[in-house]
Homo-oligomer: A and B are copies of this chain.
Amino acid sequence: MVEKNSEEIYRQACEVLTGGVSRNTVYRKPFPHYAAKASGCYISDVEGTERIDFANNMAALIHGHAHPAIIEAVSRQLQRGTAYTLASEIEVAFAQLLNKRAKSFERIRFVNSGTEAVMAMIKASRAFTGRAKIAKAEGAYHGTYDYAEVSQTANPTNWGDINKPNSVPLVYATPKGVLDDVLIFPYNDIERTIAILDTQADQIACVLIDPVPHRVGLLQGTCEFIEAIYNWTRKNGALLVFDEVVTLRVKYGGAQEKYSVSPDITALGKIIGGGFPVGAIAGRADIMKVLDPRESNLRFPHSGTFSANPITMTAGYVAMELFDKDAVLRLNALTDKAIRQIEEVIRLVDVPVSLTGAGSMFRFHLTPTPPSTYREAYQTKEANAIINELLDFLYFNEKMLMINTFACMFSTVMTQKEIDKLSDGLLRAFRALKPKIEKLQNT
């Protein structure tokens, strides 16, 4: 191919890809940049500009890019084939590896994406309980399955009374049946959530929880909240299911390790693919039986052409073997160090910015104290505009890539050097935008 710059590639892209992109995430005004190569925690575009990658493909890469051990294992598997109509031993070895990480991961099934994992988890919950409805948190992102995306972007004009939040469609013309079958509750609000669940107590198949929901504000689910929901599900014949597609990275056994109670099923994805498309559900053996093809009355027939393909399994196995207990602790300690440096920067610049997060991930908020609910964390158009200015400043001036909610996802290949660049970059960005950020507080 002739070498082109990003603007030229994007012009051609618009003629064949709708909006010129295949993922809205990568869109950037006036045009997205095209990656040429990436290695470790650095990514270079076709213009030759190298940036530190704090996005890690939307939190999917725990060891950064092109990790040598993953390349080596995948290269070996490539020679033996990438997809079979037979099983492969590596899927068993990988399931054994994941199974050890959390006691709730009794039985596993692999799929191709987080979206497919959440969909399978909801369908398994229905098949096990015989009920159709689910409950989920306002603002929480759980992939693109209709039921899972209700109220994902609820806003002040449509979210309704906090005591009974509306089921707000994400996609135009979402069937009414979907909206009717999804109950929305305010995250971390025990009293209101229980009252909402009680209104349909005998119809709820599962309560879907992300233990550190990114779009809700990257807030940690409190122990009290998770335990209250768990107890409610025990009393009412419902399942508690976790979306740990993003949050598995938080602790060795996922964010669920923090709680005294375990989910019945967990959806996994992102980092467990070692950089390749993946999803999985892991849960109680008796519940997962709804998927067992040996059952005479198979409640949930399910297959997938690329599920458990040996390339993803191989890459995932190597990635998760490397991300052992020590690696998790080291990465989280590094992230803590970064957060302390950033908090120092915020104090130094004296700018009303706060942080939320857990483990190796954190998100910035343009408020002096961190939000504690989705409605508090909700960003106005004005706040969003300033966040985009900050992200552009960091991207163009400081050569660093972040997630477009103004969040960072660390990888194990990062070092003090990248942390120092991050805090220095933020220092300049906050200084440059300080008047605008302050003005936002006063409006």
Interface flags, A153-179, vs B, CB<8A=1, else 0: 100000000000000001111111110
A174 to chain B, nearest CB (A): 7
Any chain B CB within 8 A of the CB of A428? no
Find A307's partner among B22, B38, B172, B401 (CB 8 Å cutoff).
B22
Cβ B114 vs Cβ A113 within 8 A: no
Residues facing B in A83-124 (CB within 8 A) are: 83-89, 91-93, 95-96, 98-99, 107-110, 112-116, 119-120, 123
With A81-B43, A176-B177, A177-B176 in contact, is A171–B18 under 8 Å at CB? no
The segment out of A282-290, A354-362, A368-376 that lies at the interface is A282-290
Interface flags, A299-336, vs B, CB<8A=1, else 0: 11111111111111001000000000000000000000
Q: Report the separation of the CA atoms of residues A127 and B171 in the bound assembly, to the nearest whole angstrom.
A: 7
Chain B residues near A81 (CB, 8 Å)?
35, 37-39, 43, 65-66, 275
Find A303's partner among B18, B24, B33 (CB 8 Å cutoff).
B24
Cβ B171 vs Cβ A177 within 8 A: no
Chain B residues near A114 (CB, 8 Å)?
305
Cβ A66 vs Cβ B82 within 8 A: yes
A122 to chain B, nearest CB (A): 9
Q: Report the separation of the CA atoms of residues A292 and B20 in the bound assembly, to the nearest whole angstrom.
A: 8
Q: Report the separation of the CA atoms of residues A304 and B144 in the bound assembly, to the nearest whole angstrom.
A: 8
Find A129's partner among B85, B86, B87, B173 (CB 8 Å cutoff).
B173
Any chain B CB within 8 A of the CB of A348? no
A284 to chain B, nearest CB (A): 10
Cβ B175 vs Cβ A301 within 8 A: no
Chain B residues near A93 (CB, 8 Å)?
1
Chain B residues near A153 (CB, 8 Å)?
301
Report the nearest B residue to A6, measured CB to CB: B87
Any chain B CB within 8 A of the CB of A146? yes
With A22-B308, A96-B16 in contact, is A119–B131 under 8 Å at CB? no
Chain B residues near A299 (CB, 8 Å)?
171-173
Given contacts A18-B291, A173-B299, 13 further A-B contacts (CB under 8 A): A13-B95, A15-B99, A23-B87, A34-B87, A35-B310, A57-B85, A58-B305, A85-B403, A112-B115, A127-B173, A170-B301, A175-B181, A273-B306
